Amino acid sequence: MIKTLWIVFAAFGGFTALAFSETSSAHAQGKELSRFIVEDRISGYVFLGEQVRALQDDDFQNPGMFAVDRGRALWNTVDGEAGKSCASCHGDAAETMAGVAARYPKFDANRGGIINLELRINEQRKTHMMAPPLEYESQDLLALTTYIANLSRGIPLGVNIEGEAAPFFEQGKKFFFKRRGQLDLACNQCHDDLDGMMLRGDKMSQGQINGFPFYRLIWNSVGSTHRMFQWCNTSMRAEPFTYGSEEYLNLELYVAWRGRGLLVESPAVRR
């Protein structure tokens, strides 16, 4: 019985492989992957199948662009007691926000720690708009973050890890190399050592965050880096940290530095 099953699987696998290669050849023509690779750092895009790449490449089809549209609308929406919108101070985001997302997360003196794009948006809402903070991972906050990140598309990641950010960077690095959970795995064991290998039906990526916030097909929605961190931690049967926690902020800084030079792809499409 087991033998028959294997034969069925093999036949099915062969068939799908054939079907994929036929559709992919047209798209692969003239397609340059080198811009997704910087030295030994490889964007998750490279590990995708041709169909998912095509979904990301076409702004019309890319489901993450819905979040961008929504973010653009929110950017110009007045909220809070101050009667301001983001645009009241920052003007046209296409000019003022280009390249900003590539420099986040960064050290923030007021917080005395690392701040990322999501928390920065909420901080600005509080101090300048006098508006209530948007819930982390809510559609509205994701939309704004995706919109701002999208305006940095094509700009290389370059976070600052010098000076006051250095100790937090070290903590993030420590997190990355620390074994955790019932499976006793550290991030690096898969994402540094085994990238490109198969993890069940999927290819192990390097865990780069240059496409975040991204549209994840198995979630059917846009997700932030911290949601992905939580998902990863849960998958290795470790207790996840909360959204916006210091641990994840430090980790985000380390992972962003780890992908230095990779071009921002937000909103990327991933499996």
Partner 1 sequence: MAAIRVAVPSTARKGEVIQIKTLVSHPMDNGFMLDFGGRFIPRWIINRFELEYNGEIVFSADWHLSISTNPYLIFYTVATETGQLDFKWYDDNGDIYTHTAKIIVT
For binding to partner 1 (CB under 8 A), which residues are involved?
Answer: 60-61, 63, 65-66, 69-70, 220
Nearer to partner 1, 77 or 127 (CB): 77
Least distance from partner 1 to the Cβ atom of residue 220, Å: 5
CB of 31 to partner 1, least distance (A): 21
Only one residue has tokens 């983001």, namely: 86
Q: Which is nearer to partner 1, 66 or 241 (CB)?
A: 66
Helix axes 225-235, 246-258, angle to 10 degrees: 100
Omega prior to 267 cis, within 30 of 0: yes
Nearest to 31 by CA among 58, 64, 67, 71: 58
Shortest spacing between CB 70 and partner 1, in angstroms: 7
199 contact partners, CB below 8 Å, separation of at least 6:
190
Structure tokens at 143: 């939309």
Nearer to partner 1, 70 or 106 (CB): 70
- What is the closest distance, in whole angstroms, from the C-beta atom of residue 232 to partner 1 in the complex? 18
Q: Report how far residue 128's alpha carbon sits from residue 125's, in angstroms, rounded to the nearest whole number.
A: 6
Task: Report helix, strand or coil for 84.
Answer: strand
Instruction: Report the residue number, 55 or 115, with the smaller CB distance to partner 1.
Output: 55
The catalytic residues are 232
Query: What is the torsional sign of CA 227, 224, 109, 86?
Result: negative
Q: How far is CA 157 from the centre of its chain?
A: 12
